[in-house]
Chain A
Amino acid sequence: MKKLLTSSRIALRALQVNRTRSALTMLGIIIGVAAVIAMVGVGSGATERIQAQIQSIGSNLIIVLPGSISSNGVRLGSGGVATLTTDDAKAIADECPSVALTAPTVRGGVQVVYGSNNWATVVQGVTPDYMTLRDYTMLSGQFFTTQDVDASAKVAVLGETVAENLFGANDPTGQVVIIKNVPFTVSGVLTPKGQSPTGQDQDDVILLPISTATQKVLGVNKANAKAIGALMVQAINPQSIDQAIQEMEALLRERHRILPGLDDDFSVRNLTEVFAAQESSAQVMAVLLGAIASVSLIVGGIGIMNIMLVSVTERTREIGLRLAVGAKRRDILSQFLVEAVTLSLAGGLIGILLGVTTSFAISYFAQWSTDIGVLAVAVSFLFSALVGVFFGYYPARTAAFLNPIEALRYE
């Protein structure tokens, strides 16, 4: 232990004497470690953001949209025709075993007024199941109930953006807002969800009972009073999403009396699948960035080995002298090993600082979210120490096994 202390002191002294060279040697490790930390930070930040957005949508979700039918050769786009009804929603919930919940929705743009304030937003008519399905929680007040839906009650739940624009800092619960000349009592405010994966503000919304929305606000569809805009479906678990889709498609084709060979008059989208693809591409990016940065760490290590080898050659006489005045081989070995490890550890520490700073700079200037993991920091610090030992050992061994006579005579 005392021996190690002494060789550390000798090594530190030697590094101090060759300040410029020490700094240049460290540069490789500094850049390597900083790159690893910043790149892994950017990568996992992106992954984390996508995960959060997927969480905000709700889990195991499938969306069923009405539309796309051919009428006398004219094909209408998705949602163009009211082919999906509240009865379909009920049938799916009752008859498909892989489906946990269904939530029929209608939506439309409205102007909402409170006192002297008004705000353009989106009204969605939903049922209480929608709250469970989208994992909503309440910031204040309460969601409306099934009774409210049955009674077409004039109650509204506000998204946070709407609440803020109409009421400022005040709590809207119990207040009355006017939508299309109809007064609605605000029953609560939703906890904000932020942006959706597609970049929409999910809090700029007003939720009404679906019955009230169709009858009082958006107007009843002339062709079908029970028509809905979209149906959100939650599968019982992630594995049964595909099963649920098959069950729904079969049920809907049967209920809509579509003959084999003809197109569906609805379309089904597996949201989880779309976002999972996004997430996995972000993860691939993160791994790639980390891998590229690791290469620079290894290059930094080779840099240390290079300089240490040059340093051994340059200091041949010094090594010869140390051997002559009584240094043992292991003294020389540990001196040069400690030099290499000190360089790589100091470089690692500076690199961590630089990497963290860079990550903050990236998230500040480029508005990318970054995530500095304790693990990434610990691993790159440990790795830089290993780099020091690994790439320092060969030059140190070379130094320790010099012949003192030849080393002393070296010009």
Chain B
Amino acid sequence: MAAIINVHNLVKDFRLGEVPVHVLKGISFAIERGDFVAIMGPSGSGKSTLMNILGCLDIPTSGSYTLDGISVGQLESDELAEIRSHKIGFVFQQFNLLARTSAVENVELPLLYTDTPAADRRARAHKALLAVGLSARADHQPSQLSGGQQQRVAIARALVNDPGIILADEPTGALDSRMGLEIMAIFQQLNRDKGITLIVVTHDPEIAGYALRTLHFKDGRLQQDERVEHPRDAAADLRALPEEVAS
């Protein structure tokens, strides 16, 4: 398998007043197409900064980052936006859905910034909602949905552009364990069935247990890179949970 992400000697410095802070101190790794990677580490380890760079929201101070054959190193903000628009889907801890806007319109959002004709947008948004099992709630507003359902809408939004990669930053952080499992089950299914490369930031080792590979960061360096021996199956774990009274 070809590497979809290739990071070499990545450095990121911030300036806090006069003092430069070295957040990433020379990181190198590659992620294969179709992999499912969990990024772990304590706060301050630089994992959020790394995510921002991987997501093309930020650019490194030095070092190279190649995404799907494109050197993202020092692109302009509009060029980065173009890459985000076509290659990357984002899932956030706080869902970040637009209030007072229906689920299907929320899912449509990324398509507004592409050349997709208006008629296709709605159809693709419905298809993405179907993929996360929320077709029936297409016209509901975020306030009418549970946290897990909101996160599924957010996943549908990340899917709608058919990206090669989905980046998820603590996607289960705001959810209880059942809803968290539902999300991980969807991720595993997307990874397996559609071959989407998944990168999930989490501090929860149990969540990381559903990934195929974990990267541990500490103090701005990659400390440990390991294959998960026996990845757990979120769907099976979900079935094993005791039935709850209708949620």
Contacts and interface: CB of A to CB of B under 8 A. Distances in A.
Interface of A: 6, 9-10, 13, 17-18, 317-318, 320-331, 404-405, 408
Which secondary structure dominates chain A's binding surface? helix
Given A324-B90, A326-B84, A329-B78, A405 B52 contact: yes
B78 A325 contact: no
Contacts of B85: 325-326
B57 A326 contact: no
B70 interface: no
B110 A325 contact: yes
Contacts of A328: 77-78, 81-82, 113
A325 B58 contact: no
Interface stretch (B22-30, B92-100, B175-183, B188-196): B92-100
Interface string B75-111: 0011001101110001010001011110001000110
B110 A326 contact: yes
Contacts of A322: 109, 113
A324 B57 contact: yes
B112 interface: yes
Given A17-B101, A328-B77, 4 more contacts: A6-B112, A17-B99, A324-B57, A325-B110
Contacts of A323: 57, 81
B96 to A, nearest CB: 5
Contacts of A318: 98
Most chain B CB within 10 A, of A9, A318, A324, A330, is at A324
Interface core residue of B98, B100, B113, B114 (most chain A CB under 10 Å) = B113
28 contacts: A6-B112, A9-B112, A10-B112, A17-B99, A17-B101, A317-B96, A318-B98, A320-B96, A321-B96, A321-B98, A321-B109, A322-B109, A323-B57, A323-B81, A324-B55, A324-B57, A324-B90, A325-B85, A325-B90, A325-B161, A326-B85, A326-B113, A326-B114, A326-B161, A328-B113, A329-B81, A330-B78, A408-B92
Contacts of B105: 13
A356 B74 CA distance: 57
A407 B92 CA distance: 13
Given A325-B110, A328-B78, A405 B58 contact: yes
B77 to A, nearest CB: 6
B126 interface: no
A9 B52 CA distance: 30
Residue with the greatest number of chain B CB neighbours at <10 A, chosen from A323, A325, A404: A325
A17 B57 CA distance: 28
A329 B110 CA distance: 14
Interface string B145-172: 0000000000001000100000000000
Interface centre among B52, B58, B81, B157 (most CB of A within 10 A): B81
Contacts of B113: 322, 325-328, 331
Nearest to B158: A325
B67 to A, nearest CB: 14
Contacts of B114: 326
Contacts of B99: 17
A410 to B, nearest CB: 11
Contacts of B112: 6, 9-10, 327
B96 A408 contact: yes
A331 B114 CA distance: 11
B156 to A, nearest CB: 12
Nearest to A5: B118
A330 to B, nearest CB: 8
B121 to A, nearest CB: 10
A153 to B, nearest CB: 86
Nearest to B84: A326
Given A10-B112, A326-B114, A329-B77, A17 B100 contact: yes
B86 A326 contact: yes
Given A6-B112, A404-B57, A326 B96 contact: no
Contacts of B157: 325
Interface in B185-219: none
A17 B142 CA distance: 13
Nearest to A327: B113
Contacts of B92: 408
Contacts of B82: 326, 328
A10 B39 CA distance: 35
Nearest to B52: A405
Contacts of B98: 17, 318, 321
A167 B78 CA distance: 85
Nearest to B141: A17
B84 A324 contact: yes
Contacts of B57: 323-324, 404-405
A202 to B, nearest CB: 66
A325 B114 CA distance: 10
Contacts of A325: 84-85, 90, 109-110, 113, 157, 161
A88 to B, nearest CB: 87
A321 B85 CA distance: 12
Most buried by B among A320, A330, A405: A405
A183 to B, nearest CB: 87
A163 B58 CA distance: 91
A331 B92 CA distance: 22
A404 B92 CA distance: 13
A327 B161 CA distance: 13
Nearest to A18: B100
A380 to B, nearest CB: 33
A17 B106 CA distance: 13
Contacts of B90: 324-325
A320 B86 CA distance: 17
B153 to A, nearest CB: 13
